[in-house]
């Protein structure tokens, strides 16, 4: 069985919003998210789906398949080594997690990406940290677009950027010739060209898009990140629904959530940080901050949840400061 800290360290889980606490099965995570992380696509590799369901490895919840996190080891046992299926999937994170050696074009992709990240760390060009996050510095952050086994090419999507890797010379944007002889001779030009193409394709964007992009890395929720940026830009606007914030908070139970909301409204009754709307209570930017800061330990399921909330809030505020600082100094 894998500990929660081991699973989190792997990159499968970042923050509270990545999993749901189920009343019967404790922490569960969307199966297609697990598949995208381990195998590069939403589909599960060939196995016995009935076995997964009957063994309570995955469950149906709100019309979606979820993996029970405590059964991750059983899930991996059911999937196996992937030797006969690796040509259909992007197995880099999966092999790293189970300690299996990566071979073939996927190993060459990793080798290329690692040296490109080293190049960015050494050169420190504009937006280099953002590009490194896009590739993934502690785990592989790409998803599979397609594998051409006949031509030995693979296309991988990193956020909104699709990069194709192969072994033959092709004059095409965002194509990387990872033939070792070609690369050894041309590595500086290849790295410089790739950096410029990525910057042109994605990162030379407006300020809000840049900040939303970086906040999405923290929250794993682009919609929420967009609301935060909008709220930060227009601090009097009430645009953040409380129900969205609550998805990041593991309250002790529904009663605790209701009591906390009542307490919060009483504390700030004479202020303008929240308003009632038809469907929910809306917060402005100050209200968002105070909603997190007033949470107490007895509102939450455990002390670990309090620590996770503190880290989550710190990471959001730190990323806001860091993003605007980057724009100020590098624009």
> What pLDDT, in 10s, does the model give residues 133-192?
999 988 999 999 999 888 899 999 998 899 999 998 888 899 999 987 666 667 788 899
DSSP string covering 284-315, please? -HHHHHHHHHT--GGGBS-HHHHHHHHHHHHH
The domain tally of the chain equals 3
Angle between helices 207-219 and 222-233 (to 10 degrees): 130
**pLDDT grade for 278, boundaries at 50, 70 and 90:** confident
Do 274 and 303 belong to one domain?
Answer: yes
81, 91 Cβ separation under 8 angstroms: no
Do 141 and 231 belong to one domain?
Answer: no
Residues 287 and 40: their CA atoms lie apart, in Å, by 38
Among 203, 231, 252, give the residue marking a domain's end. Answer: 203
Do 91 and 176 belong to one domain?
Answer: no
Do 114 and 78 belong to one domain?
Answer: no
Range of the structural domain that residue 123 is part of: 104-203
Residues 274 and 205: their CA atoms lie apart, in Å, by 32
Do 90 and 117 belong to one domain?
Answer: no
Do 149 and 94 belong to one domain?
Answer: no
189-192 contacts, C-beta under 8 A, 24 or more apart: 191/115, 191/116, 191/119
71-79 contacts, C-beta under 8 A, 24 or more apart: 72/1, 72/2, 72/7, 73/1, 73/2, 75/34, 78/47, 78/48, 78/51, 78/52, 79/44, 79/45, 79/47
Do 280 and 187 belong to one domain?
Answer: no
pTM for this predicted structure: 0.66
Do 237 and 280 belong to one domain?
Answer: yes
Do 198 and 211 belong to one domain?
Answer: no
φ/ψ of residue 72, rounded to 5: -60, -40
Do 181 and 221 belong to one domain?
Answer: no
Mean pLDDT of the chain: 88
Instruction: Tell me the mean pLDDT in the region 59-70.
Output: 92
């Amino acid at each position: 069985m894998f500990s929660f800290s081991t699973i989190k360290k792997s990159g499968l889980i970042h923050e509270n919003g990545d999993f749901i606490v189920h009343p019967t099965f404790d922490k569960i995570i969307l199966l297609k998210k697990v598949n995208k992380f381990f195998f590069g696509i939403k589909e599960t590799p060939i196995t016995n789906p009935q076995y997964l369901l009957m063994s309570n490895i995955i469950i149906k919840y709100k019309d979606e398949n979820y993996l029970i996190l405590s059964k991750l080891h059983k899930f991996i046992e059911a999937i196996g080594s992937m030797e006969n299926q690796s040509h259909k999937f992007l197995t880099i994170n999966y092999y790293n997690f189970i300690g299996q050696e990566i071979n073939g074009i996927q190993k060459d992709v990793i080798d290329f990406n690692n040296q490109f990240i080293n190049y960015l760390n050494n050169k420190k060009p504009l937006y280099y940290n953002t590009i490194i996050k896009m590739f993934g510095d502690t785990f592989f952050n790409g998803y599979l677009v397609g594998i051409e086994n006949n031509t030995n090419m693979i296309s991988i999507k990193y956020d909104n950027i699709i990069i194709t890797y192969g072994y033959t010379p092709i004059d095409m944007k965002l194509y990387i010739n990872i033939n070792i002889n070609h690369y050894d001779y041309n590595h500086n030009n290849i790295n410089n060209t790739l950096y410029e193409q990525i910057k042109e394709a994605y990162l030379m964007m407006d300020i809000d898009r840049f900040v939303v992009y970086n906040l999405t890395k923290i929250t794993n929720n682009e919609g929420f990140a967009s609301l935060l940026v909008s709220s930060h830009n227009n601090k009097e606007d009430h645009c953040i629904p409380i129900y969205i914030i609550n998805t990041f908070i593991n309250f002790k139970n529904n009663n605790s959530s209701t009591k906390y909301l009542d307490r919060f409204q009483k504390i700030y009754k004479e202020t303008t940080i929240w308003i009632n709307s038809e469907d929910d209570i809306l917060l402005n930017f100050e209200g968002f901050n105070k909603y997190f800061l007033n949470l107490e330990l007895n509102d939450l399921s455990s002390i670990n949840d309090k620590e996770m909330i503190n880290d989550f809030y710190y990471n959001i505020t730190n990323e806001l400061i860091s993003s605007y600082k980057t724009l100020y100094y590098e624009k």
